[in-house]
Structure 1
Amino acid sequence: MKKLKTFQFMEEFDHEQVVYFYDKNTGLKGITAIHNTDLGPALGGTRLWNYKTEEEALLDVVRLSRGMTYKAAVAGLNLGGGKTVLIGDPKKVKSEAYFRELGRFVQSLNGRYITAEDVNTSTSDMGFVAMETDHVVGLHGKSGNPSPFTALGALYSIRAALKVQFGDPTIEGKTFSVQGAGQTGYYLIKYLLGDNEHGDIAKKIYFTEINETYIERMKKEHPEVEFVKPEDIYGLDVDVFSPCALGGVINDETIPQLKCSIVAGTSNNVLKGEEHGAQLKEKGILYAPDFVVNGGGLINVYHELKGYNKDAATADVKAIYDRLLQIFEIAKVQDIPVNIAAMQFAEERIKSIKNMKPSYVKR
């Protein structure tokens, strides 16, 4: 019997806690990973995926939760990083009871972990979770669907990358390839087509997607956006490649195919390995680290914890532009890959807050 590498992964990714849970009646089966709570409670969405093995699910949740720690720290939020993955077929397992059982589990963590929607879960699903716990965000009537805000953060990240790579942040006249058009990729394409405060319109956009419903929606709403086969998306001669689906797409096989100048997308864990950031640097491709780019959704739901104000949340999302310029400058000065510079940026904030001298202040 093959042993799971739980403690090995916890040590490798420096985790505080990994918890397994199961409910026989609903078929709920999942893992929650709490990476770091130095800045505050761990927040991260619940992803539902039909993982081939438990080890695949474990590796995904520990990598994703670590990314959430960095995402929150870089965004200047008082949050730690966590994540939940549910193992199952999204077309078969979802029900009210299923998500209410998830809510009871989240409640059992006593506020150390706050959840939200993610891949294959929705705002409506989180409504069922909220029936059993207060430790859930991204609800109807509050901050709602985080995808438009995640995409907005990606837009401002792209503008920052264009500023560094071409000396001008405007997207006018630039070409793009977007991988994934279901949620964040869909909204990003709308922004690139002119639905933005600057009125910039991309010269050309290509997209790929594996879900026929999303393909047909894009073709119907925006026929000017050209569909390409999934295997052809990497080799397109474009200014910006935006991965907005699952992670690990920048790897030994895809990097030689890339003809873009910038990689900036909303996917988590875009790089299959940290070494691939160095490979992009060597190739002269500017990489905008995923946990900086896709921080908009987290920033938006964080405002829900404080008392939601859409204008304030939007302003904080747009601030990703300046934060990313800082990270690009660190990478340039130290002559290191941008993904390493971003991790240093996040770790420095965590360390500085953790080491604050305790002193009594009456509130």
Structure 2
Amino acid sequence: MAAVWDFADFDDHEHVHMFTDRASGLKAVVAVHSSHMGPAAGGARFWHYAHKADAITDALRLSRGMSYKNAMAGLPLGGGKAVILADANGRKSPEMLRAFGRAVQSLGGQYVTAEDVGISLPDMVTIGQETRFVCGLPVENGAAGGDPGPFTALGTYLGIKAAIQQYFGYDRAKDVRVAVQGVGSVGGNVARRLAAEGAILTLADANVDRAKALADELGAEVADAQAILTQDADVLSPNALGAVLNVNSIDQLRVPIVAGAANNQLATPEDGQRLHDRGIIFAPDYVINAGGIINVGLEYLGQGSREEVEARIGQIPERLVEIWTESQASGRPASVVADHMAQAMIGRA
């Protein structure tokens, strides 16, 4: 396997750690991209990778995204990410989670962990038994913190409405056709918010039963998880895993707007240019999906109430409009404009 410096997604990361705990079976990667703005914060992902190198790539890409996300959200936090490697059966134990907590604690606060794909609120409580560098823990009503999913969904919903306003000139979701890929914790809540406003939904998920159940609840249609990318709609909202926008899928898109919560939606940087060339409005993922880290970040910093969290999430549409306005003025893709803004904030212009 190549040295970490040779990975295509290594971006002058400050440090990358590999952890193993034989007793519990833990294998984990923690990548710290930047601490320019503060301690590196980002969730821990529990996932099965066909190749261990893919886990390192994921950690590198996701941690860089967290640097950009936290900076663009105005949080005094750097960017980091953890990946816990699951076996093919997805076995996860309290012993493994506590071992991961000890690994985080050993970094002395350079990395602050939280939930991501495959990690739940109870899992965070277990991890928190071994480290104080953790957020996304249960909190009292009215306080920042807890499950970040609903807050990510809120910001994504507001971002979708901002994109509708940008393209169609009206700020409403009623009768807007939205194709939602991924209806888990975040995508499901996005779909519910849109349905409540009268949007016409088509849903897709790798878990077909979950998609059908939500479609029955909301009066929506169901599509195949891949076919959703070619759905004739007004908005495509990717809310599952990343790299869904590539040279092939972009050519087949039948929407004027792409706005969703999935991390790293662009398979390559060039795919942002491909969207721009097609005249598609793209909401950079680390801007639109910042609601979750705003919630748990303020929890960790001890700086916010639920009211403050929602007020900051309410600023997401303003940041998107700023990006789209600059994109139109400069002729550069929205993805490039957002990257340059974030890079300037973390001292990497």
In the alignment, residue 273 of structure 2 is paired with which amino acid?
A
Alpha-carbon deviations, 1:139-196, whole Å to 9, x = none? 11251111111011111111221122112221122110000011110000011012xx
1:11 is displaced (CA, Å) by 7.8
SS of equivalent to 1:32: strand
User: For 2:215 and 2:318, how far apart are their aligned partners in 1?
Assistant: 34
Aligned mate of 1:121, from 119, 122, 130: 119
Task: Report if aligned partners of 1:175, 1:205 keep a CA contact under 8 Å in 2.
Answer: yes
Which residue of the other structure, out of 18, 27, 30, is the alignment partner of 1:32? 30
Alignment partner, residue 190 of structure 2? 188
Identify which of 198, 201, 217 aligns with 1:201.
198
Q: In the TM superposition, what whole-angstrom CA distance separates every residue of 1:24-75 from its partner, at most 9, and x where no partner exists?
A: 1110001000000000000010101110111111111100000000000111
> Is 2:316 the counterpart of 1:320?
yes
Structure 2 match to 1:161: 163
- CA–CA distance in 1 between the matches of 2:9 and 2:339? 18
* Contact 2:152–2:290, Cα closer than 8 Å, also in 1: yes
Task: Say if 1:90 and 1:313 are closer, same or farther in 2 by CA, change over 3 A.
Answer: farther
Gap change, CA 1:249 and 1:11, over 3 Å in 2: closer
For 1:99, the equivalent position in structure 2 comes to 97
1:240 has 2:266 as partner? no
| Residue 351 of structure 1, CA deviation | 2.7
| C-alpha contact (below 8 Å) 1:73/1:349 kept by paired residues | yes
Structure 2 distance, partners of 1:264, 1:154, is 8
SS in 1 for 2:247: coil
Q: How big is the shift at 1:213?
A: 4.6
Unaligned runs of 5+ in 2: none
C-alpha deviation, 1:91, in angstroms: 4.8
1:264 aligns to what? Answer: 259
Unaligned residue ranges in structure 1 (runs of 5+): 195-199, 355-363
Match of 2:64 among 45, 63, 66: 66
Q: Report what 2:181 is aligned to.
A: 179
Q: How many Å apart are 1:219 and its aligned residue?
A: 3.7
Return the TM-score normalized by structure 1. 0.91
Once the two structures are superposed, residues 111-148 of structure 1 have per-residue CA deviations (whole angstroms, 9 ceiling, x without a partner) of 01000011111111010011011111011125111111
Equivalent of 1:303 in 298, 301, 319: 298
- TM-superposed deviation, 1:216: 4.4
TM-score by length of 2: 0.95
Q: Among residues 132, 135, 140, which one is paired with 2:133 in the alignment?
A: 135
